[in-house]
Structure 1
Amino acid sequence: MSQSFDLIVIGTGSAGSTVAHRCRQAGWSVAIVDSRPFGGTCALRGCDPKKVLVGAAHAADWVRRLQTEGIFTSDIHLDWPALMRFKRTFTDPVPANRLQSFRKAGIEPFQGQARFVDETAVQVGGETLQGRHVVIAAGARPATLGIPGEEHLATSTDFLALEHLPPRIIFVGGGYISFEFAHVAARAGAAVRILQRGEQPLKGFEPDLVARLVASSRNQGMEIHLHSEVQAIEKRGDEYVVLVRQEGTERTFQADLVVHGAGRVAEIDDLNLDAAGVAWERRGVTVNEYLQSVSNPAVYAAGDAAASGPPLTPVAGMEGGIVARNLLEGNRHTPRYQGIPSVVFTIPPLAGVGLTEPAARAQGHRFQVKQEDTSSWYSSRRVKLKETGFKVLLEEDSERILGAHLLGPEADEVINLFALAMRQELPASALREQIYAYPTAASDISYMVS
């Protein structure tokens, strides 16, 4: 059976849903396809459920830190099954709600694997969907590591669905997933190891603050091994054995669960893009400045499926809006990636926006570095966080903020003010002169730029 639409959207996350709804509101006939439950990674398998777990871990940790300072309790622990039940109150309703929103808007939903059969035709099961345009917003998946025993790796999706937390967990790779889940698991009582292949985990964040977070994580009982490349994973009885090359030495580690945290790639290799003449690379569909395929002008891409901006949910939503406007108005709109903050939701959180110091120096900028250990500041002392700090890069003469990097209480919120200043091209003096509510974490900003 064949059906025709003005637009076919592949993916029901932030990018795909945004494009579909905006084009439908403009009167286009729209089909949307997903091989997984409707809702996308963030709402079902990523940021939203993760933040539920992080919030519980943060609350328990806060109480533990203050046990000798007026809060008395004999037993603070995370009840993992109960926490999972709470998490499911956020995730379980999403697919049905998203499906209902599509149908209410007049968007035709299709569940199944999409595969291109020509430049603008997509096959889903026994249906062939013909479109004037196709938008690829299929998200990302864990990168293939190409090691023996890779099939034993649990994904972040698996971790977020655990009914019971295993006592020993190894995280392969030192990115967001590993650090965030490690901080949750450690505070829930698991023995945690992170195996990072290179010298620095959390690439893209300020190295000085990453080192401080690593030290803090180790002080909280987590083992973090650098220069540790996983060679193979074996299943031996009820446990897993991870074979590692560590600075020329072979080592083995045992665990009850081994989690993939070694990066993600665009989930596009099963779309049969060659049939549509769509060029692609490891990062995603190769697009021009309008998020249009460089090789097939009828196809656009957005979010993690596009080789464009940083792989963040707000970026996906923004790119979905850009694609919709270009489809409806012609190619006139381009995404702006300046001043987009990013956060690692550890305890405390690590946040950054703009250039790191090494990147700024590599680009030849002339700037001042404002940095300090803030563990003695009021905002850290009142919650007993001992590993906190900041680094802000201010361009000489203009005082333009080139980058801001925070590790500490409410860094995930405070970074948004730096991002706003950067996107609105406000100089540091504007932040310095602002009158902040006090005492708040944001009130520290004036000292960070002085």
Structure 2
Amino acid sequence: MSYDYDLFVIGAGSGGLAASKRAASYGAKVAIAENDLVGGTCVIRGCVPKKLMVYGSHFPSLFESAAGYGWKVGDIEFDWEKFITSIDNEVKRLSRLHISFLEKAGVELITGRASLIDPHTVEVDGRKFTTDKILIAVGGRPIKPDLPGMEHSITSREIFHLQEKPKHIAIIGAGYIGTEFACIMRGLGCEVTQIIRKDKILKGFDVDIRNNIQEGMIGHGIRIITNTVVNSVEKVSAGLKLNLSGDTEENIAADVFLVATGRAPNVSGLGLENVGVKMVDSSVAGPGYSTIDAIKVNEYSQTTQANIYAVGDVTERINLTPVAIGEGRAFADSEFGNNRRIFSHEKVATAVFSTPEAATVGMTEVQAKEKFGEDGVKIYRSRFRPMFYTLPDQQERTMMKLIVNAENDEVLGAHMVGDYAAEIVQGVAIAVKMGATKKDFDATVGIHPSSAEEFVTMR
């Protein structure tokens, strides 16, 4: 049968862009549909604008540090409008750049919201296209608890477009999004209150990462209210009133309320019911909180419909930009490049761009001990004040940790909290991925003086 396209990609985010360009490079006729700016969550309202905000939030601390080195810093002033506008302009520039990359690759960009009519037909704003294979790469979206007053809140979509800098921002959510924005807004001069349902932030990360980031955030003036939930939100003359219950039952007043309680696959209106694509079951995480269905895929990103595939945050796998890119390229190689392969989700490094920053690769201490037993794991840990902070006498701390298999000496996990954690752990991740041992780390000569050398000098 003849089709309009060999591959039709729904969603021009990280995974969809990577897959479409790779497939086109093999000679496939490819179209990609997008109803928003090209680039996806990462470019438009995620990694890129967030990291720019992280950079901006660090300057007050740098001005303070400069005084310790003899620099006299005069009056400083922050222009919120210029800051937000500059970030928005950069986002739009990158989106245009991605469009040019598609054009150079020979991928046709179709603007509009796509939906599935049958296993080989896609409809975009009333136009129908036939295709041999379909790749779903629509990503995820932020979700809000089903609680009274949530219409007064914002999510990670809207925070990049606030017209004024908040005086006081309240945040619910203990994950990396809530934690990162708590640190960003505090660095930019806002009063910040983060409300979490348990006693620690960043569930799933190594305990030393959780403890050290939370301690650092509190030291920077962020109020973290633990073991507490928001029951409702009210609009009042002074802004917003958050009604709490749990260990803390006071009411919190804030002018901006950020909800960062999770994300869900963006499958609404996609027409999955028309094509027999099955979903992973939903789960409920607590009152008002839930995880919405993700698309079920096998190791080759294939759904339960043989010619339909899915990659990235729309699936229940690791929701990271580089992972979506890797999954997209592996799909294209397998289906169009005569190179059938699986993308490995093992030992994937990641970072939390909080202040202090954290990065990690491999097993946590809990995971390692569950697999190998208490006596089957050796823990190496170091905590110190980096040299940079000695002259300004700032009480910043760096934590580094290696988790080692006691039987064969393999480094199972590496974790860091502190300046440049992501840059440092990216290099360490290569060694961990290759199966390096603690002896390999010990035999590596450190770069002195640096914080990174601690990874090869821990005893």
Equivalent residue number for residue 73 of structure 1 = 73
Is 2:344 the partner of 1:336?
yes
What is the distance in 2 between the residues matched to 1:236 and 1:3?
A: 58
Cα drift, residue 68 of structure 1? 3.4
Partner of 1:36: 36
- In structure 1, the partner of 2:323 is 315
Query: Would you say the 8 A contact 1:9–1:20 is kept in 2?
Result: yes
2:305 counterpart of 1:296: yes
Q: Please tell me the residue identity of whatever aligns with 2:434.
A: Q
**Quick check: 315-324 or 386-395, which moved more?**
386-395
Which one of 421, 444, 448 corresponds to residue 454 of structure 2?
A: 444
Q: 8 Å contact 2:144–2:261 — kept in the other structure?
A: no
Residue by residue over 1:69-126, the C-alpha shift from the partner in whole angstroms, topping out at 9 and shown as x without a partner, is 4232233454322222332342121333222332332212112211111123221111
Question: What residue in structure 1 maps to residue 209 of structure 2?
Answer: 209
How far apart in 1 are the matches of 2:63 and 2:212?
Answer: 22
The answer (yes or no) to whether the contact 1:134–1:299 under 8 Å persists in 2 is: yes
Task: Give how far 1:382 is off.
Answer: 6.3
Distance across 2 between alignment mates of 1:447 and 1:58: 29
In structure 1, runs of 5+ residues without a counterpart are none
Residues 400-409 or 233-242, more deviating = 233-242
Counterpart code for 2:378: Q
Secondary structure at 2:381 match in 1: strand
Per the alignment, residue 283 of structure 2 pairs with none
Q: How many matched pairs? A: 444
Distance, in Å, in 1 between the alignment partners of 2:337 and 2:32 is 21
Give distance in 1, aligned partners of 2:293 and 2:341. Answer: 22
Aligned residues of 1:380 and 1:388 also touching (Cα < 8 A): no
Q: Answer yes or no: is 1:267 the counterpart of 2:266.
A: yes
Identity of aligned residues (%): 29
Tell me if structure 1 keeps the 8 A contact 2:361–2:414. Answer: yes
Query: In 2, Cα distance between the equivalents of 1:274 and 1:255?
Result: 42
Q: How does 1:237-276 map to 2 (within 5 A)?
A: 237=237, 239-247=239-247, 250-276=249-275
Distance 1:227 1:77 in 2: 37
Aligned-pair CA distance for 1:380: 5.6
Output the TM-score relative to the length of structure 1: 0.93
Residues 295 and 315, structure 2, Cα contact 8 Å, conserved in 1 = yes
CA-to-aligned-CA distance 1:347-406 (integer Å, 9 cap, x gap): 22011111111121222341101112222x536646745232122111113211111111
Q: Deviations over 1:193-249 (max 9, x none)?
A: 1111122211121123312221221121111111111222222245111222123x6
- Counting only pairs closer than 5 Å after superposition, residues 200-239 of structure 1 correspond to structure 2 as 200-237=200-237, 239=239
Aligned to 1:190: 190
Contact 2:400 2:455 survives alignment (8 Å): no
Instruction: Indicate if the aligned counterparts of 1:7 and 1:29 stay in contact, CA closer than 8 A.
Output: yes
Partner-residue secondary structure (3-state), 1:304: helix
Task: Report the CA distance between 1:283 and its aligned residue.
Answer: 5.9
What's the counterpart of residue 420 of structure 2? 410
How large is the Cα RMSD of the aligned pairs? Answer: 2.1
| Aligned equivalent of 1:113 | 113
**Contact persistence 2:66–2:73 (CA under 8 A):** no
Maintained 8 Å contact 2:7/2:31: yes
More off after superposition, 330-339 vs 45-54: 330-339
Corresponding residue SS for 1:133: strand
- Is the 8 Å Cα contact of residues 18 and 320 (structure 1) preserved in structure 2? yes
Mapped contact 2:53–2:184 kept (Cα < 8 A): yes
State the AA in 1 paired with 2:188: A
SS in 2 for 1:203: coil
- Residue aligning to 2:366: 358
1:256 partner letter:
D
C-alpha change, 1:407 and 1:429, in structure 2 (3 Å) is: same
Partner residue of 1:138? 138
- 1:348 matches 2:356: yes
**2:34/2:114 contact within 8 Å kept:** yes
Residues 111-155 of structure 1 deviation map (CA, whole Å, 9 limit, x = unaligned): 221111112322111111221111111111112421122222212
Match of 2:410 in 1: 400
Conserved 8 A contact 1:60-1:77: no
Q: Report the residue type matching 2:106 in the other structure.
A: G
**For residues 347 and 148 of structure 1, what CA distance do their matches in structure 2 show?**
32
**Residue 284 (structure 2) aligns with:** none
Q: Equivalent residue for 1:161? A: 161
Greater Cα shift, 429-438 or 131-140: 429-438
In the other structure, the counterpart of 1:16 is 16
Alignment partners' CA distance in 2, 1:288 and 1:429: 37
Q: Deviation of residue 292 (structure 1)? A: 0.7
AA aligned to 1:342 is: T
For the residue of structure 1 that corresponds to 2:401, the secondary structure is strand
Structure 1 residue 34 displacement after superposition: 1.3
Q: Tell me if 1:368 matches 2:368.
A: no
Distance 1:66 1:274, change over 3 A: same
